[in-house]
Amino acid sequence: MAQLTFIRRMYFRDKLSIREISRRTGLSRNTIDKYIKSGSLVPSYPKRHGSSALTPFAAELADALAANQRSPRKYRKTLKQMHASLLAKGYAGSYDRVAAFARAWKQAEMDRAKGAGKAFVPLAFAPGEAFQFDWSEDYARIGGEKVKLQVAHFKLSHSRAFLLRAYWQQTHEMLFDAHNHAFAVFGGVPRRGIYDNMKTAVTKVGKGKQRDINVRFATMVSHFLFEAEFCNPASGWEKGQIEKNVRDARHRLWSDAPAMPSLEALNVWLEQRCKALWQTLPHPELSGRAIADVLQHERPELMPATAPFDGFIEQTKRVTPTCLVHVDRNRYSVPASFANRPISVRIYHDRLVMVAEGHTIAEHVRHIRRAHDGGRTIFDWHHYLGAVQRKPGALRNGAPFKTMPEGFRALQGILLQRPGGDREMVEILSLVLQYDEQAVLTAVELALEAGAASKAHILNLLSRLLGEVPPAPMDAPPLLQLKVEPRANVARYDELREVSHVA
């Protein structure tokens, strides 16, 4: 451009000849003549119509780039590997040409994903009309370790109040718990929920707006009485508020999130931090008003929040001969009477409830297995009392009984050294089925202090502690319940005496 201006200045202003200009610039006279006669200040260059060495392999390379993008990150190929693959197929060009093609292809894909050239309509929502939901992956320090979390994001579309809650996994029970907490914090339920086509809600994406909704998700929607609306595939702008909230949360929350001892502590901090931001962040459309002020105006328009949704996933499991149930590669104990039988396991986000014959038979805190953890076995020694009553010898090395209170374990160490001590220990442990466990443990500790570790002495101490209170009635299984209760009637003895017997 500068040289063209220099040529025109020498010809039109300084009145130099084309020959002289050619001598000074080193350009041919035909080139100078063309620039002078064109009358344009912008030089034009002919477009390249010839094919490069990469042209025969362009379609193959584009397919390889698309497949590479869809592959998991650890299985993706580098451009150098793709270049080597093309060389093996006859490509004679350079690596730079392959890299330039890949950059152009990637930019075109980004423009297509962002909807380049498309027009969008601004959206407006009435108070209480809708909320938007999305998941994200973020990192935090929990228990001194940097861990990856699945974070549920909620945002009210009118007031822009938002809430985050972190979980270990993106599963149904986590999704249900997030809704329970969000509606409790917001103080009500909007009339509509806007989601993408996440697997925890949509089983199959149909044509247009047709969706096959997951049964448990539909049950939750029916419980809270809001209407679920799903975006078109790859159309994140249809829930742009929550997409922006995911990006904003990274510098508003996660950048200064402190190390936490547990996930529960992190969620408490996230809720408090979100509420603090409501007070300080201005509403993007209602100038002069904070998000918290607009939320107060919106709350009367929300539907009343009903009781929390009982958000569990139920699975049928078969109990192993060792009285264990396998859930997510962990093992949980159940009462020995249910060994080798099928039971139902209700999986909540934080606990497991085992159900059989219409009754809860066991409950455990749920352990989420992470990538570097092996499977855990969670015992409740009470569940194995029925088994050791039949096989007292199993008490000596029984793994579940390693979790007993220290008083019981000390008594076990003494009794197992005596003949028949294993059976006596089982009989003492079985007292917890009739009496309060803490009272039995106190009696055991008193017997150990007195140096009289025996069942008779422990029963004597227990009766004194409880004040001769009879043992609590036991709930007999339906098949063992008496239809006619026996009566304590001593008069029947006299009736039997009057009956004559043949000698």
Instruction: Name the pLDDT band for 155 (thresholds 50, 70, 90).
Output: very high
pLDDT at 379 over 90: yes
Pairing state between β 330-333 and 324-327: antiparallel
Strand-strand pairing, 330-333 and 377-378: parallel
Would you place residue 177 in the very low, low, confident or very high pLDDT band (cuts 50, 70, 90)?
very high
Q: Is the pLDDT of residue 471 over 80?
A: no
Pair 153, 179: CB distance under 8 Å: no
Mean pLDDT of 293-300: 94
Interval 146-158 mean pLDDT: 93
pLDDT for res 487: 75
Distance separating alpha carbons of residues 91 and 107, to the nearest angstrom: 24
> Would the pLDDT of 238 be above 80?
no
Residue 372's pLDDT is what?
A: 62
- What mean pLDDT do residues 335-354 have? 94
On the question of pLDDT at 191 being above 60, the answer is yes
Poorest-pLDDT segment among 97-111, 181-195, 332-346: 97-111
Q: Which residue has the tokens 């060792």?
A: 322
pLDDT at 405: 92
pLDDT for the residue numbered 256: 85
Q: How many Å apart are CA 125 and CA 130, to the nearest integer?
A: 7
The residues spanned by each domain of the chain are: 2-38, 55-113, 130-301, 313-378
Q: Are strands 145-156 and 130-142 parallel, antiparallel or unpaired?
A: antiparallel
Distance CA 345, CA 366 (A): 12
Specify the range with the lowest mean pLDDT, choosing from 216-225, 307-316, 406-415, 494-503: 494-503
Which of 114-128, 261-275, 396-410 is predicted with the least confidence, judged by mean pLDDT? 114-128
pLDDT above 90 covers a percentage of the chain that reads: 47
The answer to whether the beta carbons of residues 189 and 183 sit under 8 Å apart is yes
pLDDT band at 47 (very low <50, low <70, confident <90, very high): low
Q: How far apart are CA 138 and CA 120, in angstroms?
A: 29
7 vs 140 pLDDT, higher one: 140
Compute the distance between CA of residue 245 and CA of residue 154 in angstroms, rounded to an integer: 9
Partner residues linked to 315 by β-bridges: 345
Please tell me the predicted confidence (pLDDT) of residue 490.
Answer: 76
Kindly report the CA angle at 148 between 142 and 149, in degrees rounded to 5?
A: 85
- pLDDT given for residue 1 in this prediction: 58
* pLDDT value, residue 469: 52
Contact 248, 212 (CB under 8 A): no
Q: What is the pLDDT of residue 371?
A: 56
What pLDDT is stored for residue 283 in this prediction? Answer: 92
Residue 118 has pLDDT above 70, yes or no: no
DSSP 3-state percent helix, strand, coil across the chain (nearest 5): 45, 15, 35
Q: Answer whether residue 502 shows pLDDT above 80.
A: no
Q: Given this model, what pLDDT does residue 395 score?
A: 87
User: Which of the pair, 361 or 34, is modelled with greater confidence?
Assistant: 361
Confidence of residue 101 (pLDDT cuts 50, 70, 90): very high
Q: Name the CATH code of domain 130-301 (choices 3.20.20.80, 3.40.640.10, 3.30.420.10, 3.30.70.360).
A: 3.30.420.10
Nearest to residue 153, comparing CAs of 175, 126, 123? 175
Taking residues 321-346, report their average pLDDT.
93
What average pLDDT does the structure give for the chain?
Answer: 87
Distance CA 120, CA 382 (A): 63
One-letter amino acid at 351 equals R
Closest alpha carbon to 377 in 394, 395, 357, 398: 398
When comparing pLDDT for 462 and 480, which is higher? 462
Locate 394 and state its tokens.
Answer: 């199993």
Tell me the CA distances in angstroms from 378 to 173, 362, 381, 486, one per residue in order: 21, 12, 10, 42
User: Among residues of the chain, what percentage have pLDDT more than 70?
Assistant: 91
Using pLDDT thresholds of 50, 70 and 90, give the confidence band for residue 71.
confident
- Say if residue 162's pLDDT is above 80: yes
SS (H, E, C) 177-237: HHHHHHHHHHCCECCEEEECCCCCCEEEECCCCCEEECHHHHHHHHHHCCEEEECCCCCHH
- Secondary structure class of 107 (helix, strand, coil): helix
Which range is least confidently modeled, 58-72, 182-196, 226-240, 483-497? 483-497
